[in-house]
Structures are given as C-alpha cells and as structure tokens.
C-alpha cells in the first residue's frame, strides 16, 4: 500500500473525489447512515490516503487541536474500503496516522470518536476509552484518548 499525506489545499481534484467516495461508500451507503459528511473540517485537515494498485483502499483525516476537540489533536473518518479489509490496511493506515499527526502538529494527546465495536482495534494502538458510550448518527461510539 502506498501512503500519501496531503494538506487539504494541496489535494488534487481526483484525490478529493477518491476521499469523498470511500467515505460515502462505507459510512453512508454500507452503514446505512445518512449524515452530512462534508462537515467543514476537511479544510483544516491533513488527509492520509492509502492506495493499492491506484485505488484508494484506506483513509484517515488528521486534525489540529480546536477543530474536533478543544484540547486534543484528532484522527477521524478512519475507513477501509470493503475490498481492502482483512489485508492489514487499517492497521497500516492507523500506525501511519499516529506518526504523521505527531510529526505535523507535535507530540500531543490524540482524541478519537471510535465506533464502539472497534474499541479493541484502537486499544491495540494505545487509545484508552474515556466516558460513557454515546450515539453518533445512530451508531454507538466511545471517546478514546492516546496520551
């Protein structure tokens, strides 16, 4: 998997299209969750894209403090395309996301809003649950922090 990390202002139109497509395919169509994906946070983000044979198969967006959480950096929109699952792409993209977010914004705590069924996945990277489970767009989530 080839990984690219690009600030919003430097994205090519084709890259932005790939990002919007993978997020809509998984979060809106596959998870049957109608919500506004274009939440005005993308412009402040760095976009980490994992390509295999020219196709976007994994993605995250890296956000500075003050965008999703006042006192925390954030990794969000973590997604692996259906055809890319079970191949380690999710692990690779998260490892790289943690490295890159610290490289870009400094070594600061990271907060995520994890779909609750993925708690163990994120815990394996050192994220710890904080607070109670809550519904976000009708899907159970848990806030997690990596110090």
Tell me the average pLDDT of the chain.
97
Confidence class for position 121, pLDDT limits 50, 70, 90: very high
Task: Tell me what pLDDT residue 106 has.
Answer: 97
Q: What is the pLDDT of residues 24-77, one digit of tens each?
A: 999 999 999 998 999 999 999 999 999 999 999 999 999 999 999 999 999 999
Q: Which of 54, 67, 66, 44 lies closest to 15 in space, CA to CA?
A: 54
| Angstrom distance (rounded) from CA 24 to CA 144 | 24
Which domain CATH number covers 132? 3.40.630.30
Q: How many domains does the chain have?
A: 1
Sign of CA dihedral 97, 110, 87, 55: negative
Q: Which of 100, 37, 40, 39 is nearest to 74 (CA)?
A: 100
Per-residue model confidence (pLDDT) at position 93: 98
Name the residue range of residue 128's domain: 2-146
Percent of the residues in the chain that have a pLDDT greater than 70, as a whole number: 100
pLDDT classification of 1: cutoffs 50, 70, 90: very high
Q: How confident is the model at residue 147 (pLDDT cuts 50, 70, 90)?
A: very high
Q: Given this model, what pLDDT does residue 21 score? A: 97
């Amino acid at each position: 998997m080839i990984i690219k990390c690009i600030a919003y202002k430097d994205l090519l139109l084709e890259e932005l299209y790939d990002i919007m497509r993978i997020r809509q395919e998984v979060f809106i169509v596959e998870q049957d969750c109608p919500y506004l994906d274009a939440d005005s946070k993308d412009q402040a983000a760095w976009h980490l894209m994992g390509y295999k044979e020219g196709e976007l198969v994994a993605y995250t967006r890296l956000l500075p403090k003050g965008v999703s959480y006042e006192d925390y950096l954030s990794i969000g929109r973590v997604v692996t395309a259906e055809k890319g699952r079970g191949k380690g792409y999710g692990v690779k993209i998260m490892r790289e996301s943690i490295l890159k977010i610290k490289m870009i914004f400094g070594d600061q705590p990271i907060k995520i809003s994890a779909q609750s069924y993925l708690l163990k996945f994120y815990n394996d990277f050192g994220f710890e649950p904080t607070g109670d489970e809550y519904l976000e767009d009708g899907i159970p989530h848990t806030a997690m922090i990596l110090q």
